[in-house]
Structure 1
Amino acid sequence: MWKDFAQYIINNYSNAEKIVEVGAGKFHKVASILEENLSSSIVMTDIKPSHGKIIKDNICNPDLKIYGGSSLIYSIRPQPELMPHLIVVAEKTGADLIIKPFSTDSVNSSKMKLINYKRATFYKASYK
């Protein structure tokens, strides 16, 4: 499923200068696949970075300079209370937003559309 999720991003954002993952935590498989297959700058953020490549940022009080110029902001299994903050950052920066929630979570936004790509299911919105 993660390869399918990453492949969707690769297929649709191959010309992106910058892609930002919010809430990278300790799971870096998708970011690693993107780094291997895209020439884009792949930026990872988290409130508690697990290693030096992750930028410390709180999406509830974000540093918008981190997200500026990104074509895509994505988050894998964010806590439901963070989803509105992700939407606000995408709106303010004009980036597309992809949220891959836990299977039991839903995304409450009329702009978010459900995407089924191979074995990956996620929500996407464009704020350009």
Structure 2
Amino acid sequence: MSVAYKHIEACFGEYIARNYHNVIEIGVGQNAAVAERCVRAGLRVRATDIREPPLIPGVEVRRDDVFTPEHSWYAGADLIYAVRPGVEMIPPLIDLARSLRCDLIVYHLGNEVYLDGGEVIECGIVLHRYVRS
């Protein structure tokens, strides 16, 4: 993992740890650095991916598709977040966050954003909050 990626995950994880308690990462893939930082900060952390996610110490993981999510598994979250999701994932992420009445924050790849980019959060990196509960 490059130094730039470590910086991104560190900034994102620290922001989450300061502002939330019960979080879910969508599309965790093989990079669980943000989730791991959140666990170390004492948060409840869950993570999903369309493929079977790896076991991550301290993180509840499951396979799930954001386009047809199992809503009951997400109950109680105060934040859903994603690191570099495809832009096509943003509308179902927004729908899921609204249905759960929780925040949605995304770190986009490069300058990619969805529609107007939502509320911009500067925390050493640029995050986009698309839903605020």
Same fold (TM over 0.5): yes
- In the alignment, which residue of structure 1 is the partner of 2:66? 59
Question: What residue is the counterpart of 2:12 in the other structure?
Answer: 5
| CA distance in 1: counterparts of 2:111 and 2:30, whole angstroms | 21
2:126 equivalent to 1:121: yes
Larger relative CO (CA 8 A, sep 6+): 1 or 2? Answer: 1
Paired residues, what number? 122
Between the aligned partners of 1:81 and 1:65, the Cα distance in structure 2 is 23
Unaligned runs of 5+ in 2: 1-6
TM-score, normalised on structure 2?
Answer: 0.85
Name structure 1 gaps, 5 residues minimum.
none
Q: Which residue of 2 aligns with 1:43?
A: 46
Structure 1 letter corresponding to 2:50? I
Alignment counterpart, residue 76 of structure 1, candidates 83, 88, 91? 83
Q: Is the 8 A contact 2:53 2:63 kept in 1?
A: no
Alpha-carbon distance change, 109 to 84 in structure 1, aligned in 2, over 3 angstroms = farther
Question: What is the alpha-carbon distance in structure 2 between the residues aligned to residue 109 and residue 86 of structure 1?
Answer: 16
| Partner SS for 2:92 | helix
What RMSD, in angstroms, separates the aligned Cα atoms of the two structures?
1.5
Runs of 4+ with >6 A deviation? none
